[in-house]
Amino acid sequence: MKLTIVNSGSIGNCYVLHGAKTNIIIELGVTKNKVLQAIGAKEFKKIDFALVTHEHLDHIKYFNQFKLPIYTSAGTNQVIKRGKNLEENVYKRIGEWAILPFATVHDCRQGFGYLIGNAIQGKSLVFATDTNKMTRLFQGVQYYAVEANYDKYIIETNEGLTPNRKKRIIDNHMEIGSLANWLLKCDLKSIKKIILIHESKANSDPATSKNVIESLVNRPCINTANKMSEVQIIDL
- Which parts of this chain interact with Zn ion (CB under 5 A)? 56, 58, 130
**19 versus 29: smaller Cβ distance to Zn ion:** 29
Does the CA dihedral 42-43-46-47 come out positive or negative?
A: negative
Write down the least CB distance from residue 51 to Zn ion, Å. Answer: 15
**53 versus 118: smaller Cβ distance to Zn ion:** 53
Write down the least CB distance from residue 206 to Zn ion, Å. Answer: 16
**1 versus 146: smaller Cβ distance to Zn ion:** 146
Write down the least CB distance from residue 58 to Zn ion, Å. Answer: 4
**130 versus 205: smaller Cβ distance to Zn ion:** 130
**58 versus 199: smaller Cβ distance to Zn ion:** 58
**35 versus 191: smaller Cβ distance to Zn ion:** 35
Write down the least CB distance from residue 171 to Zn ion, Å. Answer: 12
Write down the least CB distance from residue 8 to Zn ion, Å. Answer: 9
SS3 assignment for the chain: CEEEEEECCCCCCEEEEECCCCEEEECCCCCHHHHHHHHHHHHHHCEEEEECCCCCHHHHCCHHHCCCCEEECHHHHHHHCCCEECCCCCCEEECCEEEEEEECCCCCCCCEEEEEEECCCCEEEEEECCCCCCCCCCCCCCEEEEECCECHHHHCCCCCCCHHHHHHHHHHCCEHHHHHHHHHHCCHHHCCEEEEECCCCCCCCHHHHHHHHHHHHCCCEEECCCCCCCCEEEEC
With beta carbons less than 8 A apart as the criterion, state whether 73 and 30 touch: no
With beta carbons less than 8 A apart as the criterion, state whether 22 and 69 touch: no
Write down the least CB distance from residue 28 to Zn ion, Å. Answer: 12
